[in-house]
Structure 1
Amino acid sequence: MLSCKQATELMSVSLDSKLSLYQRFALRFHLLMCKFCARCWKQMLFVRDAMHKCSERAEEIDFMPDHSLSPEACDRIKNSLKEHNHP
Protein backbone atom coordinates (compact mmCIF):
# COMPACT_ATOMS: atom_id res chain seq x y z
CA MET A 1 0.00 0.00 0.00
CA LEU A 2 1.13 3.54 -0.71
CA SER A 3 2.16 5.88 2.07
CA CYS A 4 0.27 9.15 2.35
CA LYS A 5 3.31 10.97 0.98
CA GLN A 6 3.43 8.69 -2.07
CA ALA A 7 -0.31 9.08 -2.56
CA THR A 8 -0.15 12.88 -2.51
CA GLU A 9 2.72 12.80 -4.99
CA LEU A 10 0.65 10.63 -7.33
CA MET A 11 -2.35 12.91 -6.86
CA SER A 12 -0.26 15.87 -7.91
CA VAL A 13 1.24 14.06 -10.90
CA SER A 14 -2.18 12.85 -12.01
CA LEU A 15 -3.41 16.43 -12.35
CA ASP A 16 -0.80 17.06 -15.06
CA SER A 17 -0.31 13.68 -16.71
CA LYS A 18 -1.77 10.20 -16.95
CA LEU A 19 -0.76 7.65 -14.35
CA SER A 20 0.07 4.06 -15.19
CA LEU A 21 -2.57 1.43 -14.54
CA TYR A 22 -0.70 0.25 -11.44
CA GLN A 23 -0.36 3.82 -10.11
CA ARG A 24 -4.06 4.52 -10.66
CA PHE A 25 -5.03 1.29 -8.91
CA ALA A 26 -2.66 1.92 -5.99
CA LEU A 27 -3.89 5.48 -5.59
CA ARG A 28 -7.57 4.50 -5.72
CA PHE A 29 -6.99 1.78 -3.14
CA HIS A 30 -5.19 4.22 -0.87
CA LEU A 31 -7.98 6.78 -1.24
CA LEU A 32 -10.53 4.14 -0.25
CA MET A 33 -8.54 3.33 2.88
CA CYS A 34 -7.37 6.80 3.96
CA LYS A 35 -10.00 9.43 4.69
CA PHE A 36 -7.36 12.15 5.04
CA CYS A 37 -5.93 11.59 1.57
CA ALA A 38 -9.44 11.25 0.15
CA ARG A 39 -10.23 14.68 1.59
CA CYS A 40 -6.97 16.06 0.21
CA TRP A 41 -7.82 14.66 -3.24
CA LYS A 42 -11.26 16.27 -3.19
CA GLN A 43 -9.67 19.58 -2.24
CA MET A 44 -7.09 19.29 -5.03
CA LEU A 45 -9.85 18.64 -7.56
CA PHE A 46 -11.86 21.57 -6.20
CA VAL A 47 -8.88 23.93 -6.58
CA ARG A 48 -8.13 22.61 -10.08
CA ASP A 49 -11.73 23.11 -11.17
CA ALA A 50 -11.85 26.59 -9.62
CA MET A 51 -8.67 27.57 -11.47
CA HIS A 52 -10.12 26.33 -14.76
CA LYS A 53 -13.24 28.41 -14.18
CA CYS A 54 -11.12 31.46 -13.30
CA SER A 55 -9.03 31.08 -16.43
CA GLU A 56 -12.14 30.74 -18.58
CA ARG A 57 -13.54 33.88 -16.97
CA ALA A 58 -10.24 35.72 -17.43
CA GLU A 59 -10.37 35.08 -21.18
CA GLU A 60 -13.71 36.87 -21.30
CA ILE A 61 -12.29 39.99 -19.62
CA ASP A 62 -9.94 42.39 -21.38
CA PHE A 63 -6.85 42.65 -19.19
CA MET A 64 -4.96 45.04 -21.43
CA PRO A 65 -4.31 48.28 -19.54
CA ASP A 66 -5.29 51.60 -21.08
CA HIS A 67 -1.78 52.91 -20.48
CA SER A 68 1.76 51.60 -20.26
CA LEU A 69 5.02 52.58 -18.63
CA SER A 70 7.18 55.18 -20.25
CA PRO A 71 10.47 53.98 -21.76
CA GLU A 72 12.29 55.86 -18.98
CA ALA A 73 10.34 54.02 -16.30
CA CYS A 74 11.10 50.70 -17.99
CA ASP A 75 14.81 51.58 -18.03
CA ARG A 76 14.75 52.50 -14.34
CA ILE A 77 13.11 49.19 -13.47
CA LYS A 78 15.62 47.23 -15.58
CA ASN A 79 18.55 49.06 -13.99
CA SER A 80 17.18 48.48 -10.51
CA LEU A 81 16.77 44.77 -11.20
CA LYS A 82 20.31 44.54 -12.53
CA GLU A 83 21.67 46.26 -9.41
CA HIS A 84 19.79 43.93 -7.09
CA ASN A 85 20.66 40.76 -9.00
CA HIS A 86 24.33 41.57 -9.63
CA PRO A 87 25.87 43.59 -6.79
Structure 2
Amino acid sequence: MNNSNFNRIKELLAKKGKTSIELANYLGVNTRTVSTWCTNAHQPEVATLYKISDFLEVEAGELLTPKNELKVAAPGKVKKKRNS
Protein backbone atom coordinates (compact mmCIF):
# COMPACT_ATOMS: atom_id res chain seq x y z
CA MET A 1 0.00 0.00 0.00
CA ASN A 2 1.28 3.47 -0.85
CA ASN A 3 1.64 5.55 2.31
CA SER A 4 1.50 8.80 0.35
CA ASN A 5 -2.27 8.42 0.11
CA PHE A 6 -3.03 8.26 3.84
CA ASN A 7 -3.36 11.99 4.48
CA ARG A 8 -3.05 15.36 2.77
CA ILE A 9 -1.86 17.43 5.74
CA LYS A 10 1.30 18.68 4.02
CA GLU A 11 -0.60 19.57 0.84
CA LEU A 12 -3.33 21.43 2.71
CA LEU A 13 -0.85 23.30 4.92
CA ALA A 14 0.80 24.64 1.77
CA LYS A 15 -2.54 25.43 0.13
CA LYS A 16 -3.68 27.40 3.18
CA GLY A 17 -0.32 29.19 3.54
CA LYS A 18 0.32 27.72 6.99
CA THR A 19 3.40 26.01 8.37
CA SER A 20 3.95 22.79 10.24
CA ILE A 21 5.36 24.89 13.11
CA GLU A 22 2.08 26.82 13.35
CA LEU A 23 0.15 23.55 13.35
CA ALA A 24 2.41 22.08 16.04
CA ASN A 25 1.93 25.17 18.22
CA TYR A 26 -1.85 25.08 17.68
CA LEU A 27 -2.02 21.42 18.70
CA GLY A 28 0.58 21.65 21.46
CA VAL A 29 2.73 18.91 19.92
CA ASN A 30 6.35 18.67 18.85
CA THR A 31 7.21 19.80 15.33
CA ARG A 32 8.74 16.37 14.69
CA THR A 33 5.32 14.83 15.33
CA VAL A 34 3.73 17.04 12.68
CA SER A 35 6.61 16.21 10.34
CA THR A 36 5.89 12.48 10.66
CA TRP A 37 2.26 13.15 9.76
CA CYS A 38 3.24 15.31 6.77
CA THR A 39 5.50 12.58 5.42
CA ASN A 40 2.93 9.89 6.24
CA ALA A 41 5.44 8.04 8.41
CA HIS A 42 2.76 8.07 11.13
CA GLN A 43 -0.88 9.10 11.24
CA PRO A 44 -2.60 11.35 13.79
CA GLU A 45 -5.36 10.07 16.02
CA VAL A 46 -8.92 10.70 14.83
CA ALA A 47 -9.52 13.39 17.48
CA THR A 48 -6.36 15.13 16.31
CA LEU A 49 -7.54 15.00 12.70
CA TYR A 50 -10.59 17.01 13.72
CA LYS A 51 -8.37 19.60 15.43
CA ILE A 52 -6.19 19.77 12.32
CA SER A 53 -9.28 20.26 10.15
CA ASP A 54 -10.37 23.14 12.42
CA PHE A 55 -6.91 24.72 12.11
CA LEU A 56 -6.93 24.38 8.32
CA GLU A 57 -10.62 25.31 8.04
CA VAL A 58 -11.46 22.22 5.97
CA GLU A 59 -13.71 19.21 6.43
CA ALA A 60 -11.95 16.35 8.22
CA GLY A 61 -12.54 14.08 5.24
CA GLU A 62 -10.44 16.38 3.05
CA LEU A 63 -7.42 15.48 5.17
CA LEU A 64 -7.76 11.81 4.29
CA THR A 65 -9.08 11.70 0.77
CA PRO A 66 -6.52 11.74 -2.03
CA LYS A 67 -7.11 14.81 -4.18
CA ASN A 68 -7.76 12.74 -7.30
CA GLU A 69 -10.55 10.88 -5.48
CA LEU A 70 -12.48 13.95 -4.32
CA LYS A 71 -15.79 14.07 -6.12
CA VAL A 72 -17.99 17.11 -6.02
CA ALA A 73 -21.38 17.22 -7.65
CA ALA A 74 -21.99 20.14 -9.96
CA PRO A 75 -24.76 22.48 -8.78
CA GLY A 76 -28.12 21.23 -9.95
CA LYS A 77 -26.77 17.79 -10.80
CA VAL A 78 -27.74 16.09 -7.55
CA LYS A 79 -31.01 14.22 -7.88
CA LYS A 80 -33.19 13.47 -4.91
CA LYS A 81 -34.39 9.92 -4.57
CA ARG A 82 -38.15 9.65 -4.89
CA ASN A 83 -40.13 7.43 -2.59
CA SER A 84 -42.06 4.77 -4.50
**TM-score computed with the length of structure 1 as normaliser:** 0.26
**TM-score computed with the length of structure 2 as normaliser:** 0.27
Please state which structure has a larger fraction of its residues in helix. 1
Q: Higher relative contact order at CA 8 Å, sep ≥6: structure 1 or structure 2?
A: 2
